[in-house]
Structure 1
Amino acid sequence: MCQYSVDRQDGIPTDWHLVHLGSLARGGAGVVITEATAVNPEGRISPQDTGIWNDEQVAAWRRIVDFVRGQGAVAGMQLAHAGRKGSTRPALGGPSGSVPAEEGGWQTVAPSAVAFEGYAAPVALDAEGIDQVVADFVAGARRALDAGFELLEIHAAHGYLLHQFLSPLSNLREDEYGGSLPNRARLLLRIVRDVRAEVGDDIPLLVRFSGTDWAEGGWTVEETATVTEWARDAGADLFDISTGGLVAGVRIPLGPGYQVPFAEHVGRETGAPVGAVGLLTEPQQLEDIVSSGQADVVLLARQLLREPRFPLRAAHELGVELDYWPAQYLRARWR
């Protein structure tokens, strides 16, 4: 979950991020994944987002990673580029829309010069720009490892740049990156292959997909399954299946576990390991998803914002004895 807390607008994580992510590790999470972390300055969602494009950021992340790992959790980084949904105001309850240059905003990029509703128009990436995006993801992956991260996730969901290339609603290109599904998936697959080559075989590499655009003529769960197979062949290990984010104003049937069937479909059709997300809030609900085989893992966001020590409570309610309660909190352990 983006924190929009880099007030200096330099991409360097702060004490807020140390306490925020550290509390999740201390609360019993098995893996703690950062917010969408931009691989270049133009890839940020807002000027207040974190980044991984320089060594100063690496040093700041290393302090956070050391604490997370010290609590027994695996530290993961989500590598991201917002594309046409970049240079926006932080989602902190204030005004929305694009940030002008005089307030720290920038020209956004996308597969095509088609704006997200309510945002400034992007410019279409040319071949050199696409190559640079690939290089920036690879360099970001290397820096993440230098900071001590042990797991990486490539963000190709929620209407950000890689999702923009995948969906025919936002990708109107007529070159080798547009039109057919193999062409629309080309950028993502280049990034997966090159990141895998950079980090070696031992680093878990996840891809986050939106399973559908919830819009006619858009990205579908069947296409998600197909590209999952291709991405697995290119070197990805597990697929985190969310939905939506590409277009505004769509009707989404919200409800507990409403996105789980998309993860289940991708896992069933491909045999690939999948993660489920979305309105997952109760311990038994999560246990049922995994034990029934609907997904291999569950990933939590808002529930952990509400209750950072939810994993400890979940273990208690499910009758699981844990040996990694923080010693400082043992006096509060449920009996």
Structure 2
Amino acid sequence: MQLLEPWTLGGLTLRNRIGVSPMCQYSASDGLPNDWHRVHLGSRAVGGAGVVFAEATAVSPEGRITPADTGLWNEAQRRAWQPIAAFIAAHGALPAIQLAHAGRKAACAVPWHGGQPLPRAQGGWTPLAPSALSQQADGPVPQALDRAGIVRVIDAFRAAAQRAAQAGFGLIEIHAAHGYLLHEFLSPLANQREDDYGGVLANRARLLREVVGAVREVWPVPRPLAVRVSATDWVPGGWDIDECVALAGWLKADGVDLIDCSSGGLVAHARVPAQPGFQVPFAARIRREAGIATAAVGLITGAQQAQAVLAAGAADLVLLGREHLRDPYFTRRAAAELAVPLVAPEPYQRAW
């Protein structure tokens, strides 16, 4: 596999195997993306990436991490996303969106204002979770979802997926990582339910699989569908790679095309051995044992490093987050480094 060769996922062909990872901008008002999002995401499409993911986008107001998150729970938000998706597609990249529910990590201040839980007087709300367990010892206790609440979550993902299709996105990713709601259901550290959504792995995976089924109702094959997972909690007794491999096999049968392999985020005290490419082995094992395409992400910063991941057969797609914040034109720099011709947009061709 070559970094800059086309790749077909579901019914769509990406122009290369480089993706812009979804990265929260915390710059929306009432869930509405704005000029910041259009320029931020559009410049990465002009920069040559094969797929450009919009940030974690809440499927309901209570599913936001912060009051400044983007959303897709109403028609105004759908209309605001539409020109952004169109611009990304017009410049050769696949417009993608990550649909999310923050669970017990909801109702926080934006990171540059401390990221702490917001009281109601400052715009906060009661977070939702599988069980009434706070993420931190001194954190707010979330409200455990009852059956009716679970149905509302599933319905919200379905409705958001339908709006994503209408807005012109070509790829949906369901966020089931980083300690947010669907990951909370997966992990025994956050899920202590005694009903059909807790206990054994099949029960803990039930909500995610029901969400996938609901999304597939309005996002039919061959439209590509991805799921981001945390392959491990990095905590003994927590969610781990063995369970994640089993889950990936089930998700493949449910109609998922791609597993985006991240890790951590569930508990604050986890010790994450962050170093270049530290999550690539998860993508490699899931790809090999579950027989599903994977995306590698996490401290991948260079063209040669990304090419080595693909050459080793560890993943089918390489997603870069912070490196794309530093350099919207990473893909053009990678093409020059790997001596692969890459046509520039006409207004930029005099520079190439």
Kindly state the Cα deviation for residue 95 of structure 1 after the two structures are TM-superposed.
Answer: 1.9
- The number of residue pairs the alignment matches comes to 329
Structure 2 residue 229 is matched with structure 1 residue 209: yes
Match of 2:140 in 1: 120
Instruction: Output the CA distance in 1 between the equivalents of 2:123 and 2:349.
Output: 46
Q: Alpha-carbon deviation of 1:147?
A: 0.4
Deviations 1:200-251 (A, max 9, x none): 1121000000000000100000100000111111111110000000001221
Q: Residue 4 in 1 paired to residue 23 in 2?
A: no
Quote the residue 1:24 is aligned against: 44
Q: Quote the Cα distance in structure 1 between the aligned partners of 2:308 and 2:45.
A: 23
Separation (CA, whole Å) in 2 of partners of 1:85 and 1:329: 42
Q: Residues 165-198 of structure 1: CA distance to partner in whole angstroms, max 9, x if unpaired?
A: 0000000000000000000000000011121122
> Match of 1:108?
127
Task: Provide the C-alpha distance between the structure 2 equivalents of 1:160 and 1:103, rounded to a whole number of angstroms.
Answer: 22
User: Structure 1 residue 331: deviation in Å?
Assistant: 2.5
Gap runs ≥5 in structure 2: 1-22
Q: Which residue number in structure 1 is paired with residue 278 of structure 2?
A: 258
- Which one has more relative contact order, counting CA pairs under 8 Å at least 6 apart? 2
Structure-2 separation of matches of 1:320 and 1:119? 50
Q: For 1:68-217, what aligned pairs fall within 5 Å after superposition?
A: 68-92=88-112, 94-117=113-136, 118-217=138-237
**Counterpart in the other structure of 2:69:** 49
Shift of 1:161: 0.2
- Are positions 1:61 and 2:81 aligned together? yes
Q: Hey, what does 1:238 align to over in structure 2?
A: 258
Residue by residue over 1:133-154, the C-alpha shift from the partner in whole angstroms, topping out at 9 and shown as x without a partner, is 0000000000000100010000
In structure 2, C-alpha distance between the alignment counterparts of 1:115 and 1:97, rounded to whole Å: 13
Q: Secondary structure at the match of 1:320?
A: coil
Task: Using structure 1 for the length normalisation, give the TM-score.
Answer: 0.97
> Which amino acid in structure 2 is aligned with residue 257 of structure 1?
G
C-alpha separation between the residues in 1 aligned to 2:237 and 2:299? 26
Structure 1: gaps of 5 or more residues: none
Amino acid at match of 2:115: S
TM-score scaled by length of structure 2? 0.92
Give the equivalent residue in structure 2 for 1:295. Answer: 315
The Cα shift of 1:75 comes to: 0.3
TM-superposed CA distance for 1:100, in Å, is 1.4
Question: AA paired with 1:307?
Answer: D
Query: Which SS does the other structure have where 1:276 is aligned?
Result: strand
> Does the 8 Å contact 1:85/1:119 carry over to 2?
no
Deviation of the 1:28 alpha carbon:
0.5
2:45 and 2:131 map into 1 onto residues whose CA distance is 40
Query: Superposition pairs for residues 276-287 of structure 1, below 5 Å?
Result: 276-287=296-307
Partner of 2:10: none
Aligned to 2:292: 272
1: CA distance, partners of 2:86 / 2:286: 34
The answer for the alignment partner of 2:57 in structure 1 is 37
1:291 shift after superposition: 1.6
In structure 1, what is the Cα distance between the partners aligned to 2:316 and 2:144? 37
